[in-house]
Amino acid sequence: MTISPTLRALAISLLLPLTAQLGYGDTATTAAPAPEYLPLEQLRSFYKLMPLPGERAEGTRTVGNSGTTITFGPGKRELSIGGYRWLLSYPTREDSTGDLLISRTDFVKLFEPVLRPTYISERRLVRTVIIDPGHGGYDIGSPSDHVNEADFCLQLAMELRDCLTRRGYSVILTREQSRHLSDQQRVLCANGADAAIFISLHLNSGRSDISGIETYTATPDTPGIQRRPANNHDAASTALAFAVHSSLISATGAQDGACRRARYNLLNSVDCPAIMVLAGYATNKDEGTKLATAEYRTQLATAMADGIGAFARAINPDATLNPSVPAAEPTPPAPTPTAAPVPAKPKAKPKAKPSTGKKPAPRRTPRRRNRRR
Ligand SMILES: [Zn+2]
């Protein structure tokens, strides 16, 4: 994409202060400084997004272009990108004139890699996928009458391995049997591979009426937060999370539990693009029962493989550099500088909800109890 001198200057002024922190070494400080905010107008002009009909309806703002739409709510952490939920690092704000403000951290660490994946500096090839089935051995994971989390994770990992192997990737599993691994052992496995991405598989647990898929990346490098190995890959991890999560929600029609940030020790310590997928709630009867079936595991594995392929092509559109995808399988459209890497599959319809032709309203983030990964 050709960038005008004005936009180039704007890009430098926006991106340099944060990207300059991407050197090696921790940046721990004693107190977290207040986040810096930028007007939504700056995001719109930089990415050539237009206000869309419905802007300011119920206080929300929707902007977009032919590639994607983004909907914000004032004072909220949650937003929708292309119809998929994300939780921001900092809630949006309104200034005295009612204009929406977005944190610089979210501008640089969320919107930039999702809207312009080809600008990710770490445009590595994706040759190897490290799949990490959570738990194992004496650690069975989330207690549930419907599905054994540790067994589910291993079965899903093997399905995903087979799917990715058929598409030309090398795949390493952190465990191939029911045995306990420490986080350190999982990290050593991940950090020893070359040209790799890391996907940890888990289930969620909580109230019996909660269901859905959540996808996590490490909390991005932010002033006041100790820098960890994962922060070397903030941009690629964000793009990977979005591609895999949107593919999963699109293919399964599961509740969209959002892409989220967390400071899990495992994710923090992995030194390659890394995500953790919580593929559903073991404690929800309907979802837990479905998770225990081979058919649903196949659906999840195929969706994740599609998402990984979308990510690989989004950051490196030269298809000859990435493992091939069988021609018979659906492939996402080639990404454009302002299009998020969303798979092209039609969205599956939830069983009990007839389509209204509109995206459903974002689900409120539920309070969770006894949640574990
Ligand atoms: Zn778990």
> What is 9-43 written as a DSSP string?
HHHHHHHHHHHTT-SSS----SSPPPPPEEEHHHH
Q: Which residues surround ligand 1, an ion (CB under 5 A)?
A: 134, 141, 202, 373
**Residue 52: per-residue pLDDT:** 87
CATH number of the domain to which 144 belongs = 3.40.630.40
For residue 30, report the distance from its CA to the centre of ligand 1, in Å. Answer: 32
For residue 140, report the distance from its CA to the centre of ligand 1, in Å. Answer: 8
Q: How many domains does the chain have?
A: 2
Same domain for 133 and 79, yes or no, is: no
Sole residue written with tokens 């991405």: 197
Same domain for 73 and 129, yes or no, is: no
CA distance 247 to 236: 17
CA distance 311 to 97: 39
Same domain for 100 and 150, yes or no, is: no
pTM higher than 0.85: no
For residue 175, report the distance from its CA to the centre of ligand 1, in Å. Answer: 14
**Which of 108, 129, 158 lies at the terminal end of a domain, its last residue?**
108
Same domain for 159 and 216, yes or no, is: yes
270 and 187 Cβ atoms separated by less than 8 Å:
yes
Residues in the chain, pLDDT under 70: 1-31, 54-57, 123, 319-373
For residue 202, report the distance from its CA to the centre of ligand 1, in Å. Answer: 4
- Cα 368 to chain center, whole Å? 20
**Which of 44, 78, 108 lies at the terminal end of a domain, its last residue?**
108
For residue 133, report the distance from its CA to the centre of ligand 1, in Å. Answer: 9
CATH number of the domain to which 101 belongs = 3.30.457.10
Same domain for 97 and 126, yes or no, is: no
Q: What Å distances lie between residue 363 and 36, 210, 255, 258, 366, CA to CA?
A: 28, 11, 8, 9, 8
Q: Is 362 inside a domain boundary? A: no
Token couple for 79:
């937003």
**Residue 372: per-residue pLDDT:** 52
Q: Is 252 inside a domain boundary? A: yes
Amino acid at residue number 92: T
**Residue 209: per-residue pLDDT:** 97
Same domain for 86 and 201, yes or no, is: no
Domain extent, residue 163, equals: 119-319
For residue 16, report the distance from its CA to the centre of ligand 1, in Å. Answer: 37
Same domain for 103 and 123, yes or no, is: no
For residue 277, report the distance from its CA to the centre of ligand 1, in Å. Answer: 10
**Residue 57: per-residue pLDDT:** 61
> Packing angle between helix 234-252 and helix 294-315, nearest 10 degrees?
140
Same domain for 79 and 145, yes or no, is: no
For residue 372, report the distance from its CA to the centre of ligand 1, in Å. Answer: 6
Q: Which residues of 18-50 are buried (b: 16+ CB within 10 A; e: fewer)?
A: bbeeeeeeeeeeeeeeebebbebebbbebbebe
**Residue 29: per-residue pLDDT:** 42
**Which of 59, 86, 108 lies at the terminal end of a domain, its last residue?**
108
**Which residues fall within 8 angstroms of residue 323, CB to CB, at 6 or more apart?**
126, 127, 167, 168, 169, 312
**75: alpha, beta or left? (left if phi > 0; alpha if psi -120 to 50):** left
**Residue 200: per-residue pLDDT:** 98
**Residue 56: per-residue pLDDT:** 63
Same domain for 84 and 220, yes or no, is: no
**Which residues fall within 8 angstroms of residue 105, CB to CB, at 6 or more apart?**
18, 35, 89, 90, 220, 222
